[in-house]
Amino acid sequence: MAAYVPLLILFLVGAIIVGAMFTLTSILGPKNPTEEKMMPFECGSDSTGTKHVKLSVKFYMTAILFVVLDVEVVLLYPWVVTFRETGWHGLMLMAPFMALLVVGLLYEWKKGAMEWER
């Protein structure tokens, strides 16, 4: 446990510095609010619209497709690298995995998850 004491001190010092900076600026800083200043800052231009923007579900579909195929690649690389060592046994283990992914891909395709303009 004693090994973690420096870490705890680091956290405490960090919290104190950040807390002190925020409280001191709010106490010491001059306050001269105008309507212009109180507006939300958005890259210097006037902000438009509401903060809740409805995004099309298509973006989520694409993101999920990406994640699925991305994770697949993560699992494929070690297999490819060790292909000679794992041999038929490795192929037999990877084949059901790939087959299940193909089933998922077919499902997405048939359900129209890949049609952007619809």
Partner 1 sequence: MSFELMLALSPVLIVVLGGAALMLVEAMSTKKPDVDESASSEIALGTAMTLLAGAVAALGVWFYGPENLPSAAALAPYFVLDRFTLFFTFVLCFGGALAALLAGGYLPEHRLDRGEFYPLLTFSVVGAIALAAAADLLSLFVALETMSLGVYCLTGFRRGSTRSTEAAVKYFLLGSFAAALTVYGVALIYGATGHTDLAGIKSVIRAFSANAGDPAVSSRLAVLIVGMVLVIAGLGFKISAVPFHMWTPDAYEGAPTPATSFMAVSVKAAAFAMLLRVLIGGFSDPASMSWSAGWPPVLAAFAVLTMTVANVVAGRQESVKRMLAYSSIAHAGYLLVGVVATVRSSADGQGSVLFYLLTYTFSTAGAFGALVLCGSRGKEAVTFEDLAGIGKRHPAAAAVFSLFLLSLAGVPPTAGFFGKLYVVKAALGSELYVLTIVLLLNSVIAAYYYLRVLVYMYMKEPMAGAPIAVPMKSGYVAAALVLAAMAIIGIGLLPGSSLEMAIKAALS
Count other Cβ atoms within 10 Å, centred on residue 101.
15
Residue 92 in the binding site for partner 1 (CB under 8 A): yes
Residue 47 in the binding site for partner 1 (CB under 8 A): no
Q: Of 60, 111, 114, 115, which lies in the binding site for partner 1, with binding defined by CB under 8 A?
A: 111
Residue 103 in the binding site for partner 1 (CB under 8 A): yes
The torsion region of residue 56 among left (phi > 0), alpha (psi -120 to 50) and beta comes to: beta
Residue (37 or 118) nearer to partner 1, CB: 118
Residue 22 in the binding site for partner 1 (CB under 8 A): no
Residue 63 in the binding site for partner 1 (CB under 8 A): no
**Among 14-22, 43-51, 53-61, 101-109, the segment contacting partner 1 (CB under 8 A):** 101-109
Least distance from partner 1 to the Cβ atom of residue 61, Å: 14
